Amino acid sequence: MPSREPRTPLEAVTDRRFLATGWPWRSAGYLLTGIPLTAGAVLALGALAWPWGLVLLRQARGRPLSPGSAVALILLGAGLVALWPVVATALARVERLRTRMVGSPPLVSGHRAPPAPGAWPWLRTRYTEAATWRELGYALLLATAGPVVYAVVLLLALLTVSFLTAPFLVAGEMDPVSLGFTEVGGLGEALPYALAGLVLLPLLPYPIAVLAGAQAALARALLQGGPGERLRAQLVQVSRSRARLVDAFEAERRRIERDLHDGAQQRLVGLTLQIGMARLDVPPGSPAAEAMAQAHGQAKQFMAELRELIHGIHPRVLSDQGLAAAFDELADRCPVPVTVRADLPERLPAHVEGTAYFVAAEALTNIARHSGATRAALTASAPGGLLVVEISDDGRGGADPQEGTGLTGLADRVSVAGGRMLMSSPPGGPTLLRVEIPCGQNDPSE
């Protein structure tokens, strides 16, 4: 049974193939990108401390500030302290992105949904969250312990490099050359250090990976949201993947419709014309004329069926003229008289138009087949970024999803688009079907 692939540097260092994997490079990249982040945390902490430090320094030198200046500096320091969680939140956001280099799954923020616009609502929301104070603790650790740990690893790396290059550094030099904690004065003294560098070089990735793994584990402990936030992030990912699937499905429908319309249908039209022209050259009443007439009739029937099939896949009027024109065409094709009132933007997102059209088409088909209605109405509007479509009829009512009228399929299709479907159909009628689909901003490019 194959062993599980390591997911963090701390797991990778225990693998005997560690040096042959990408983990040493990923760990080194993680630490290198952490240097500017640590420097930013140190600078932010220094900006916090300087007003208080200035007051204490002047007191220590026996030159105290005036009461007004001291109060002003203390108030400034208090204001900077109050803003420190804002800095910590920004640092945590960058850190969550960086940890993707050395671990999976990605870290999920523990913050709640974005607060209302404005500085005060943002501060009030963020300062009452436990996630903000965990991020503050991580930022303080990064600003205090981070420089020390990074300096140790950097010193090990520089020491290894200096040992390896010792023979080249002393070549042609008359004076001793410093190698960190010692000096070498010739090639003979430098060779042992070069051998030590060769031994240290393959060992260097291990402390680098351990440090990277430890920092990533600390970030995961302090910056990772709880189970609720992780579930929320998973639901967001599922919703986004579902939206991508819907868009891909609609694009595929349009491609199939275009290929059939521009390819098979055009060739069938040419074939029908050729058969019609050939009938003119056949003597009337002959067996060949009868066969040609049957072939001509079958070709025309097949062309009508293909046209209906293409229209069912994705109507051309929906792609060319939009949802309002497509609703008008649906009303013209329905056996029951349908009144259409559509107050819609020129175009809506493609998946919204497709979902609304096919729901309306299925609803009107159900009305014609099952309701016994004498008239129907279709209204559509898009107030506040929400497409609302209502289809009503004066039929017998009593529509039930369990009776195979396609209502369950309609509800599923609307749900995939992020909307909902409501229905009222008491026995005796009337029946009202209401569909609400979020449509956001119009995208003419769709």
Token readout for 299 is: 């070709």
Q: Between 23 and 56, name the one with better pLDDT.
A: 23
pLDDT band at 179 (very low <50, low <70, confident <90, very high): confident
Bridging pattern class, strands 338-343 and 376-381: parallel
Q: Which amino acid is at 429?
A: G
pLDDT at 212 over 60: yes
pLDDT at 282 over 60: yes
Q: In whole numbers, what is the pLDDT of the chain averaged over residues? A: 76
- CA gap 57, 356 in Å, rounded: 71
Which residues sit opposite 339 in a β-bridge? Answer: 377
- CA gap 3, 6 in Å, rounded: 9
Lowest mean pLDDT among 83-87, 308-312, 337-341, 368-372: 308-312
pTM of the model: 0.50
pLDDT at 190 over 70: yes
- CA gap 268, 306 in Å, rounded: 9
Bridging pattern class, strands 431-438 and 386-393: antiparallel
pLDDT band at 1 (very low <50, low <70, confident <90, very high): very low
pLDDT band at 251 (very low <50, low <70, confident <90, very high): low
Instruction: Tell me the per-residue pLDDT of 44-94, one tens digit each, with 9 for 90 and over.
Output: 777 776 666 666 666 667 666 666 665 665 565 566 566 777 788 888 888
Closest CA to 143 of 49, 214, 41, 218: 41
Token readout for 334 is: 């329905």
Closest CA to 182 of 201, 197, 162, 198: 162
Instruction: Tell me the per-residue pLDDT of 233-242, one tens digit each, with 9 for 90 and over.
Output: 555 555 555 6
Lowest mean pLDDT among 47-56, 227-236, 355-364, 381-390: 227-236
Q: Check: CB of residue 435 under 8 Å from CB of residue 414.
A: yes
| 3-state SS assignment for residue 14 | coil
In which element (H, E) is residue 387 found? strand 386-393
- CA gap 358, 414 in Å, rounded: 10
Token readout for 148 is: 């020390």
Q: What is the mean pLDDT of residues 350-376?
A: 83
Q: How many CB atoms lie within 10 A of CB 443?
A: 12
- What is the pLDDT, as a whole number, of residue 442? 40
- What is the pLDDT, as a whole number, of residue 78? 61
Q: Between 278 and 42, name the one with better pLDDT.
A: 42
The string of DSSP letters for 66-120 reads: PHHHHHHHHHHHHHHHHHHHHHHHHHHHHHHHHGGGS-SSPP-----S---SSHH
- What is the pLDDT, as a whole number, of residue 419? 84
Q: Between 268 and 236, name the one with better pLDDT.
A: 268
- What is the pLDDT, as a whole number, of residue 79? 60
- What is the pLDDT, as a whole number, of residue 74? 59
Closest CA to 358 of 419, 431, 399: 419
Q: How many CB atoms lie within 10 A of CB 32?
A: 11
For 443, phi then psi, to 5°, come to: -130, 95
- CA gap 335, 97 in Å, rounded: 58
Lowest mean pLDDT among 258-262, 328-332, 346-350, 374-378: 258-262
- CA gap 81, 325 in Å, rounded: 60
- What is the pLDDT, as a whole number, of residue 248? 61
- What is the pLDDT, as a whole number, of residue 340? 87
- What is the pLDDT, as a whole number, of residue 62? 67
Q: Check: CB of residue 359 under 8 Å from CB of residue 389.
A: yes
